[in-house]
Amino acid sequence: MEPNYKPSIVAVTWDGVSPALSHIFQDVPPQFEILLFDNTGKADKALFAHLPITHYISHKTECKGDIIEHIYYYFQNNNNHPPANYKYIGIIDDDVYFSVSDLNKLLFLANLEELDVFQASLTHDGSNSHRELIHKAGVIIQETLWVEIMAPFYEMEIFMAAGPYYQHSISGQGIDVYLIPTLQRILKKNKTAVVHAVQMKHCRPIRTDFRRFVNGKDNLTEINDIKNICYLLASEHKELFDQAFYKNVLDIEYTRKIPFLRKVKRIKPMLKNLYSLIVDASYR
């Protein structure tokens, strides 16, 4: 018997040419609704007629933030599928490998643990930018400050609350590390985690760096634009934001290289983890 949870949506992007859901292994029936997003705006629907698609959006887009914004518009005034009917929405890039059973398990654990924002852990052999999100053996769920824009899952209220701000980041960057955590504080939905019980593989190198979008900005400019919006939101809700949030979220700089001071800060947890490994090995 399936748990009596509110339904969720998994959105997957598509280039309109290659096989739709090409990186989603269809091993079991999905316990969620699938939204297919054609980012060319001109795909032939016959190409996915055999797949269990509940929602379909076709719009020419530049990058992930563009896609997220159009998904927001799709649900904004949707009387047939009002956002209040759904618990979570996940938005997965077309080159992220999952199985349907992985996604079923991911959503089951998120419901069970009452998570607000989450993602699956990253495999060691994929194309990864944030090593803190890579899979840890023996761990089911690990709390984190934010999840990556590549394949995030958001509680639907959080996703919709962020809607008016998606327009400021065509790349999608900054939405993950600044905007969503800030709105979580305001909405008092702060339970964010990496689910290590499920792994996903990012199969293609990141393609947003050094691109200039139609708004004339690159991804680093967009990240800073979102950051400034979040500083303003935090100033309007001062009672909800402590110094730890500024230190660990808003004041962090994201560049194309890891700052030296951030590398130094990793030494202490590294030594702690090494000690834990040695202790664990002594019991084997």
Residue spans of the domains in the chain: they are 9-251
> 1 pLDDT exceeds 60?
no
Reported pTM: 0.89
Distance between CA atoms of 176 and 199, rounded to whole angstroms? Answer: 19
pLDDT of residue 73: 97
Query: What is the CA angle 64-69-75, rounded to 5?
Result: 130
pLDDT of residue 282: 79
pLDDT of residue 3: 61
In CATH, the number for domain 9-251 is: 3.90.550
> 260 pLDDT exceeds 70?
no
pLDDT of residue 211: 83
> 261 pLDDT exceeds 90?
no
pLDDT digits (tens, 9 = 90+) for 42-77: 999 999 999 999 999 999 999 999 999 999 999 998
The predicted model gives 116-137 an average pLDDT of 85
pLDDT band (50, 70, 90) for residue 24: very high
The predicted model gives 272-281 an average pLDDT of 77
